[in-house]
């Protein structure tokens, strides 16, 4: 797309019209100045007098200057042949490639394209600017003195950003120094320097205000500031009438050129720490509440990478109270420092996990050394070898929250040495059947089995051996129908890929897992666990198993725009469990066939998609789970999503000893853009078990040129607790950071 710099607020159409009119004007032709470098001639014509003497050409009266493909119009000019610089006055217009410059007093160098003007204006959507002077010292950037920029295309903008100097680098960045933000006639913010990328879509300023039963009257504001290419900052300033003031800063940075880092902080002076939106117990909470996090990925040379994940909270409920989205994704943050050395043949890692937040149970690793070898072919036998070995100093640190435990349990620790070695023999038979038999052996030792946690008896070590073996069988059939075409359905040929597989696995440990007081154990999960090593990585909970996993994957594809398009991707599998005993977690049954697992995605069009992920109980004595959704976008202005989530029949209790409730939630989400000014969104979530409309939300957005205003009304019904009502509005400065100042080639 051709984007043209216009040094005035005139539209491109007017500029081109002026070019056509002035370019066709008849005028006298004066002397031709000497050619520039490379033999480029300078031709000067004017209605009035022209003169050339001592290396200086002058002309006045509808002057037209040609220099190669560059064209200049002015009332009068003086041109220095030695520097190829023209001084032009009076309605100056310069057309140089894809750029257009205008001003009353302009200095322009035809070779370097450096440009200087006074009393100018600039328009390049969505950026509009004015200033006392402008220059292009290097020819590819703009230096504005005593000017302002805005994204509000009006004669009297609703806001402007004034600065002593403004540096604009098209398609890259804008740098402002000694900056004052004005809303109307009121100065509201000052910065010594402001750096804004023209490549990011993040809003420069946003404000959310309203009222809710949880917080009272709210006012939440965020200012985003890009200080440099490798440093971005977001400042938060929040007020809640029932909870007090809060704020923080988020920083994105690069610790090394190819690395990435984020630091987030939030501190609240909470006036009501007794508020509890749930029926679960809470311990005492300090009024000063905070959430600090640091995440870094630091790649070094030769495949060496360091990773840091640090989270420091004031209490266990900071995200539940203030950041519901983060709470739904992570309720207990991790704290790790990891060093990884990668090689095509192996991977070495050093991991440290301390208990930073004392109110969470933590299995510390102080530290863990691990080395994994990738599959290595043994000579020309076709046999492959892989292994993993580790040494960990485990320390089980329990929470210090008395309300969680009638009697605080005793912390315990042990060293664990573990090594696993496996041989595989992958081979294809009959040209279509892939078989991979494998056998493996694991040895594990614990310095202390911790059988007597509440006594002071002698610590007993423990060792265990594990044998595993099995075979993976798979094959793939496919057929293609190139003649299958339908323009209405965008079908350009059909290919069906049919991939059945069978995985047989036997695991035989020397001791039962109930005889070990371990550290890493299985958690409650509604999806099938891996059955093979090393994918099954809960080492302390390894138990006897004989399982046959049988499954099929179906893929239905077509061609669209020359690329493969998956119309259907459907996998279904089940486990034949021959282990012969019941899982003490009382969540997973060991019936011969307990569940069938289904994972499907159907995408007949880019504007329609159906997804389904299900675990269906085959015997009626265990849980069933499904999560189905369909998204439909009949046109660009309307998008509707419908979903249904169900979990029932779980025979287990949570951390507090409360049984898991059956749940079945149906939700509908819609987004409708009526026109360029108005947009509507709704969300409804209905719980069929308790008959409650669990959540409903209605939002209206109004486009206000440079700003977007939104109003949302929502209500949430909490099970066995009081419901919450919220009304709030948002104000977002949307265009400036997304500005795409660019000059086409």
- 238 within domain boundaries: yes
Q: Is the pLDDT of residue 127 over 80?
A: no
Please tell me the distance from the alpha carbon of residue 450 to that of residue 540, in angstroms, as a whole number. 13
- 417 within domain boundaries: yes
The model's pTM: 0.69
Q: Provide the pLDDT for residue 733.
A: 65
- Return the DSSP state at 6: B
What integer is the mean pLDDT of 146-169?
Answer: 78
Mean of all residue pLDDT scores within the chain = 81
Angle at 679 between CA 677 and CA 683, to 5 degrees: 170
| Cα distances (Å, whole numbers) of residue 513 to 265, 293, 303, 329, 657 | 42, 36, 37, 30, 23
Q: Total domain count for the chain?
A: 2
Phi, psi of 326, deg, nearest 5: -65, -35
Region of poorest pLDDT, from 92-96, 598-602, 619-623: 619-623
Q: Do 234 and 291 belong together in one domain?
A: yes
Phi, psi of 126, deg, nearest 5: -100, 20
Q: Do 598 and 583 belong together in one domain?
A: yes
Q: Do 120 and 212 belong together in one domain?
A: no
The CATH code of the domain that includes 233 is: 2.40.170
Q: Do 234 and 286 belong together in one domain?
A: yes
Q: Which residues contact 312 (CB under 8 A, 6 or more apart)?
A: 290, 291, 292, 293, 356, 357
Q: Do 170 and 290 belong together in one domain?
A: no
Q: In sequence order, what are the beta bridge partners of 462?
A: 446
Q: Is the pLDDT of residue 218 over 70?
A: yes
Q: Do 262 and 368 belong together in one domain?
A: yes
Last residue of a domain, which of 168, 200, 232? 200
Highest-confidence segment of 132-136, 258-262, 726-730? 258-262
Q: Is 716 helix (H, G, I), strand (E, B) or coil?
A: strand
Contact call for residues 580 and 565 (beta carbons, < 8 A)? no
Q: Which domain holds residue 16?
A: 12-200
Q: Provide the pLDDT for residue 135.
A: 74
Q: Is the pLDDT of residue 15 over 70?
A: no
- 401 within domain boundaries: yes
Q: Provide the pLDDT for residue 661.
A: 67
Give the other-Cβ count within 10 Å of 515's Cβ: 11
- 441 within domain boundaries: no
pLDDT digits (tens, 9 = 90+) for 226-266: 777 788 888 999 999 999 999 999 999 998 888 999 999 99
Q: Would you call 22 exposed, middle or buried from its count of C-beta atoms within 10 A (0-12, 13-18, 19+)?
A: middle
């Amino acid at each position: 797309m051709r984007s043209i710099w216009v040094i005035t607020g005139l539209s491109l159409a007017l500029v081109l019209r002026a070019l056509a009119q002035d370019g066709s004007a008849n005028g006298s032709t004066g002397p031709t100045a000497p050619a520039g470098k490379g033999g480029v001639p300078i031709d000067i014509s004017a209605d009035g007098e022209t003169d050339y003497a001592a290396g200086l050409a002058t002309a006045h009266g509808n002057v037209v200057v040609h220099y190669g493909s560059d064209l200049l119009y002015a009332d009068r000019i003086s041109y220095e042949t030695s520097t190829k610089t023209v001084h032009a006055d009076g309605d100056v217009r310069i057309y140089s490639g894809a750029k257009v410059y205008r001003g009353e007093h302009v200095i322009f160098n035809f070779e370097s394209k450096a440009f200087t003007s006074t009393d100018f204006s600039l328009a390049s959507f969505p950026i509009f600017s004015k200033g006392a002077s402008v220059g292009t010292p290097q020819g590819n950037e703009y230096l504005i003195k005593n000017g302002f920029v805005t994204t509000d295309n009006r004669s009297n903008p609703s806001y402007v950003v004034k600065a002593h100097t403004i540096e604009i680098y098209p398609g890259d960045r804008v740098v402002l120094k000694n900056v004052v933000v004005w809303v109307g006639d009121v100065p509201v913010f000052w910065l010594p320097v402001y750096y804004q990328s023209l490549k990011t879509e993040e809003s420069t300023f946003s404000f959310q205000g309203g009222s809710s039963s949880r917080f009272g009257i709210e006012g939440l504001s965020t200012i985003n500031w890009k200080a440099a290419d490798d440093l971005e900052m977001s400042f938060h300033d929040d007020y809640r009438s029932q909870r007090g003031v809060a704020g923080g800063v988020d920083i994105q940075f690069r610790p090394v050129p190819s690395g990435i880092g984020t630091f987030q902080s939030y501190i609240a002076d909470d006036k009501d720490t007794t508020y509890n939106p749930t029926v679960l117990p809470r311990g005492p909470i300090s009024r000063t509440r905070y959430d600090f996090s640091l995440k870094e990925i630091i790649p070094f040379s030769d495949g060496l990478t360091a990773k840091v994940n640090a989270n420091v909270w004031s209490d266990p409920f900071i995200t539940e109270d203030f950041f519901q989205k983060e709470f739904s994704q992570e309720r207990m943050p991790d704290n790790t420092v990891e060093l990884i050395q990668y090689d095509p043949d192996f991977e070495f890692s050093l991991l440290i996990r301390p208990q930073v937040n004392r109110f969470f149970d933590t299995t510390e690793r102080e530290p863990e050394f691990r080395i994994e070898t990738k599959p290595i072919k043994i000579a020309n036998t076709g046999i492959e070898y892989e292994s993993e070995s580790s040494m960990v100093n485990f320390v089980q640190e329990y929470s210090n929250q008395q309300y969680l435990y009638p009697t605080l349990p005793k912390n315990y620790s042990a060293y664990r040495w573990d090594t696993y070695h496996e041989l595989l023999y992958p081979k294809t038979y009959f040209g279509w059947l892939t078989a991979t038999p494998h056998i493996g052996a694991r040895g594990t030792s614990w310095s202390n089995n911790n059988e007597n946690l509440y006594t002071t008896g002698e610590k007993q070590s423990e060792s265990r051996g594990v044998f595993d073996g099995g075979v993976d069988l798979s094959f793939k059939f496919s057929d293609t129908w190139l003649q299958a075409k339908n323009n209405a359905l965008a079908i350009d040929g059909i290919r069906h890929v049919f991939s059945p597989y069978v995985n047989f696995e036997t695991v035989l440990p020397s001791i039962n897992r109930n005889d070990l007081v371990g550290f890493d154990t299985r958690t409650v999960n509604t999806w099938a666990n891996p059955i093979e090593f090393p994918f099954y990585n809960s080492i302390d909970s390894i138990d006897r198993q004989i399982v046959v996993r049988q499954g099929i994957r179906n893929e239905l594809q077509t061609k669209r725009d020359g690329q493969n398009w998956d119309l259907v991707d459907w996998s279904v599998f089940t486990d034949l469990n021959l282990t012969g005993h019941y899982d003490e977690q009382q969540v997973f049954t060991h019936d011969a066939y307990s569940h069938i697992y289904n994972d499907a995605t159907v995408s007949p069009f880019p504007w329609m998609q159906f997804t389904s992920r299900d675990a269906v109980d085959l015997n009626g004595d265990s849980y069933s789970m499904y999560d189905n959704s369909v998204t439909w976008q009949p046109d660009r202005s309307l998008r509707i999503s419908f979903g249904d989530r169900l979990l029932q029949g779980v025979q287990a209790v949570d951390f507090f000893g409360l049984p898991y409730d059956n749940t079945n939630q149906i939700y509908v989400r819609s987004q409708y853009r009526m026109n360029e000014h108005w947009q509507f969104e709704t969300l409804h979530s209905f719980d069929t078990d308790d008959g409650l409309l669990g959540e409903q939300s209605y939002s209206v957005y109004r486009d206000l040129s440079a700003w977007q205003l939104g109003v949302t009304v929502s209500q949430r019904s909490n099970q066995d607790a009081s419901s919450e009502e919220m009304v709030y509005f948002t104000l977002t400065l949307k265009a400036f950071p997304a500005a795409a100042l660019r000059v086409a080639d």
